[in-house]
Amino acid sequence: MSALEELLTEEMQDLLHAEGQLVKALPKMAKAAHDPKLRAAFTDHLEQTKNHVERLKQAFELLGAKAKAKPCKGMVGLVEEGQETITEGKEKDESVADLALICAAQKVEHYEISGYGSLAAVARQLGQDKVAKLLAQTLAEEEKADDLLTQLSPPLLEQAKSVSDSEEE
């Protein structure tokens, strides 16, 4: 196995573990969300995340590699931060708590976007077009999830500002 193939496989193992952690974390985030649209976004992304796991398994198969997860310390930290956000959100205004959930979720999305984007490029460089296509498909979904979170923020920001303004009076 070339150094690039080894890199691709190892980083896919990392993403496999990361996605597995998210399958466990997203239901908690959905439960903590107050805004119905945010809750739906987390629930919908949970189903996508399960598909991301399956896509990674397909990519491993195409590479002739075993689909085994390698501990992803980056995602462990992000999930821990997300859990803190959920806990701390119980003491905050609902809109502020939801905004904090969006911040935590976007950190995760950006981590995944960088991972899938880099690996799709490596797969293309190796001539693994089918693997690159699978990774790029997941990348597009992660970018779409990030965009949705961005779109959900303005009304929550307005609500949070109204609460903040009324507290100052």
- 111: tokens are 């981590």
Q: What's the pLDDT score for residue 87?
A: 97
Four-residue CA torsion sign, 40, 43, 49, 51: negative
The whole-angstrom separation of Cα 76 and Cα 79 is: 5
The whole-angstrom separation of Cα 61 and Cα 65 is: 6
Quick check: 123 and 131 in contact, CB under 8 A?
Answer: yes
Domains and CATH numbers, the chain: 3-160 (1.20.1260.10)
Q: What's the pLDDT score for residue 164?
A: 74
pLDDT in tens, 30-68: 999 999 999 999 999 999 999 999 999 999 999 999 999
Q: Model pTM?
A: 0.93
The whole-angstrom separation of Cα 39 and Cα 31 is: 7
- Concatenated DSSP letters for 23-45? HHHHHHHHHH--SHHHHHHHHHH
Q: What's the pLDDT score for residue 163?
A: 80
Taking the CA atoms of residue 111, residue 117, residue 119 and residue 125 in that order, the dihedral angle to the nearest 10 degrees is -160
Q: What's the pLDDT score for residue 169?
A: 64
Residue 165 has pLDDT above 80, yes or no: no
Mean pLDDT of 108-133: 98
